[in-house]
Amino acid sequence: MNLKNISLIIFVITSFTSQHVFSSESSFENKEEIESKTDAYILENEVDGLIIDRTMTRLGDDFYFFFSQYLNERHGSLKENLTVKERPTALSGSIISVLHRERVIYRTALSPGRKQAENKAKAAMNAVTSYLIRWKAQLSYQDTFDLERDEF
Protein backbone atom coordinates (compact mmCIF):
# COMPACT_ATOMS: atom_id res chain seq x y z
CA MET A 1 0.00 0.00 0.00
CA ASN A 2 1.19 3.44 -0.69
CA LEU A 3 1.23 6.45 1.60
CA LYS A 4 -1.80 8.03 -0.06
CA ASN A 5 -4.03 4.98 0.64
CA ILE A 6 -2.83 4.76 4.27
CA SER A 7 -3.55 8.45 4.89
CA LEU A 8 -7.02 8.03 3.33
CA ILE A 9 -7.77 5.05 5.62
CA ILE A 10 -6.60 6.99 8.69
CA PHE A 11 -8.74 9.97 7.67
CA VAL A 12 -11.83 7.80 7.25
CA ILE A 13 -11.29 6.07 10.61
CA THR A 14 -10.75 9.34 12.51
CA SER A 15 -13.72 11.04 10.90
CA PHE A 16 -15.94 8.06 11.69
CA THR A 17 -14.71 7.97 15.32
CA SER A 18 -15.24 11.69 15.85
CA GLN A 19 -18.74 11.52 14.34
CA HIS A 20 -19.59 8.53 16.49
CA VAL A 21 -18.38 10.27 19.68
CA PHE A 22 -20.24 13.45 18.80
CA SER A 23 -23.47 11.67 17.97
CA SER A 24 -23.35 9.57 21.13
CA GLU A 25 -22.75 12.67 23.27
CA SER A 26 -25.66 14.51 21.73
CA SER A 27 -27.98 11.52 22.12
CA PHE A 28 -26.86 11.19 25.76
CA GLU A 29 -27.71 14.84 26.42
CA ASN A 30 -31.08 14.48 24.72
CA LYS A 31 -31.80 11.31 26.67
CA GLU A 32 -31.25 13.13 29.98
CA GLU A 33 -33.61 15.90 28.92
CA ILE A 34 -36.26 13.40 27.85
CA GLU A 35 -35.94 11.39 31.07
CA SER A 36 -36.23 14.47 33.28
CA LYS A 37 -39.31 15.66 31.38
CA THR A 38 -40.87 12.19 31.57
CA ASP A 39 -40.21 11.85 35.33
CA ALA A 40 -41.76 15.25 36.02
CA TYR A 41 -44.78 14.38 33.88
CA ILE A 42 -45.31 11.04 35.66
CA LEU A 43 -45.06 12.61 39.11
CA GLU A 44 -47.45 15.36 38.13
CA ASN A 45 -50.11 13.09 36.60
CA GLU A 46 -50.31 10.13 38.96
CA VAL A 47 -53.32 7.87 38.63
CA ASP A 48 -55.60 8.10 41.67
CA GLY A 49 -58.37 5.96 43.11
CA LEU A 50 -56.99 2.50 42.32
CA ILE A 51 -57.68 -0.58 44.43
CA ILE A 52 -54.92 -2.97 43.42
CA ASP A 53 -55.61 -6.71 43.67
CA ARG A 54 -52.64 -8.74 44.93
CA THR A 55 -54.63 -11.80 45.97
CA MET A 56 -53.78 -15.36 44.94
CA THR A 57 -56.64 -17.66 45.94
CA ARG A 58 -60.38 -17.82 45.53
CA LEU A 59 -60.76 -16.77 49.15
CA GLY A 60 -58.68 -13.63 48.58
CA ASP A 61 -60.56 -12.91 45.38
CA ASP A 62 -63.88 -13.05 47.26
CA PHE A 63 -62.55 -10.63 49.88
CA TYR A 64 -61.26 -8.26 47.19
CA PHE A 65 -64.57 -8.38 45.33
CA PHE A 66 -66.64 -7.45 48.39
CA PHE A 67 -64.11 -4.91 49.68
CA SER A 68 -63.87 -3.02 46.39
CA GLN A 69 -67.63 -3.12 45.97
CA TYR A 70 -68.28 -1.67 49.45
CA LEU A 71 -65.52 0.91 49.11
CA ASN A 72 -66.80 2.12 45.74
CA GLU A 73 -70.33 2.41 47.15
CA ARG A 74 -69.20 4.54 50.09
CA HIS A 75 -66.34 6.47 48.42
CA GLY A 76 -67.26 6.88 44.78
CA SER A 77 -64.46 9.35 44.05
CA LEU A 78 -61.63 8.00 46.17
CA LYS A 79 -58.39 9.92 45.53
CA GLU A 80 -56.02 7.49 47.26
CA ASN A 81 -54.59 4.21 45.97
CA LEU A 82 -55.05 1.08 48.08
CA THR A 83 -53.58 -2.40 47.74
CA VAL A 84 -55.22 -5.64 48.90
CA LYS A 85 -52.51 -8.23 49.56
CA GLU A 86 -53.00 -11.89 50.44
CA ARG A 87 -50.61 -14.34 52.06
CA PRO A 88 -51.99 -17.90 52.06
CA THR A 89 -51.28 -19.90 55.22
CA ALA A 90 -50.23 -23.53 55.41
CA LEU A 91 -53.18 -24.91 57.40
CA SER A 92 -56.10 -23.21 55.68
CA GLY A 93 -57.18 -19.71 54.98
CA SER A 94 -55.21 -16.55 54.32
CA ILE A 95 -53.90 -13.41 55.90
CA ILE A 96 -55.34 -10.39 54.13
CA SER A 97 -53.75 -6.94 54.37
CA VAL A 98 -54.95 -3.60 53.05
CA LEU A 99 -52.13 -1.13 52.39
CA HIS A 100 -52.04 2.59 51.76
CA ARG A 101 -48.70 3.98 50.53
CA GLU A 102 -46.83 0.84 51.63
CA ARG A 103 -48.32 1.09 55.15
CA VAL A 104 -50.60 -1.65 56.48
CA ILE A 105 -53.87 -0.12 57.63
CA TYR A 106 -55.91 -3.31 58.05
CA ARG A 107 -54.90 -6.94 58.53
CA THR A 108 -57.04 -9.99 59.25
CA ALA A 109 -56.94 -13.78 59.15
CA LEU A 110 -59.53 -15.23 56.83
CA SER A 111 -60.64 -18.85 56.95
CA PRO A 112 -62.60 -20.47 54.10
CA GLY A 113 -66.18 -19.38 53.70
CA ARG A 114 -67.79 -16.81 51.44
CA LYS A 115 -69.87 -15.23 54.19
CA GLN A 116 -66.82 -14.63 56.37
CA ALA A 117 -65.07 -12.89 53.45
CA GLU A 118 -68.05 -10.56 53.08
CA ASN A 119 -68.14 -9.73 56.81
CA LYS A 120 -64.38 -9.11 56.95
CA ALA A 121 -64.64 -6.90 53.85
CA LYS A 122 -67.24 -4.72 55.62
CA ALA A 123 -64.95 -4.45 58.66
CA ALA A 124 -62.00 -3.58 56.40
CA MET A 125 -64.01 -0.90 54.64
CA ASN A 126 -64.93 0.70 58.00
CA ALA A 127 -61.29 0.59 59.16
CA VAL A 128 -60.05 2.09 55.90
CA THR A 129 -62.67 4.85 56.06
CA SER A 130 -61.65 5.89 59.57
CA TYR A 131 -57.96 5.69 58.65
CA LEU A 132 -58.42 7.91 55.58
CA ILE A 133 -60.33 10.50 57.62
CA ARG A 134 -57.55 10.61 60.24
CA TRP A 135 -54.85 10.66 57.56
CA LYS A 136 -56.45 13.57 55.66
CA ALA A 137 -56.93 15.56 58.89
CA GLN A 138 -53.32 14.97 59.89
CA LEU A 139 -52.14 15.98 56.43
CA SER A 140 -54.14 19.21 56.44
CA TYR A 141 -52.86 20.28 59.89
CA GLN A 142 -49.25 19.34 59.22
CA ASP A 143 -46.70 22.12 59.73
CA THR A 144 -44.93 22.70 56.41
CA PHE A 145 -42.92 25.79 57.34
CA ASP A 146 -39.50 24.22 56.70
CA LEU A 147 -40.33 21.12 54.65
CA GLU A 148 -42.94 20.30 52.05
CA ARG A 149 -45.37 17.43 52.63
CA ASP A 150 -43.48 15.04 50.34
CA GLU A 151 -40.21 15.67 52.24
CA PHE A 152 -41.48 14.37 55.61
pLDDT in tens, 129-146: 999 999 988 888 776 666
The pLDDT assigned to 7 comes to 57
The pLDDT assigned to 6 comes to 60
Distance CA 61, CA 110 (A): 12
Count of CA atoms in the C-beta half-sphere (13 A) of 3: 0
| Whole-number Cα distances in Å, 50 to 28, 47, 106 | 35, 7, 17
The pLDDT assigned to 145 comes to 67
Burial class (CB in 10 A: 0-12, 13-18, 19+), 55: buried
The pLDDT assigned to 151 comes to 60
The pLDDT assigned to 8 comes to 54
The pLDDT assigned to 90 comes to 85
Q: What is the pLDDT of residues 19-35, one digit of tens each?
A: 444 444 444 455 455 44
DSSP character for 141? T
The pLDDT assigned to 43 comes to 43
Biggest CA–CA distance in the chain, Å, is 92
Distance CA 134, CA 49 (A): 18
Low-confidence ranges of the chain (pLDDT < 70): 1-45, 143-152
The pLDDT assigned to 152 comes to 53
The pLDDT assigned to 66 comes to 96
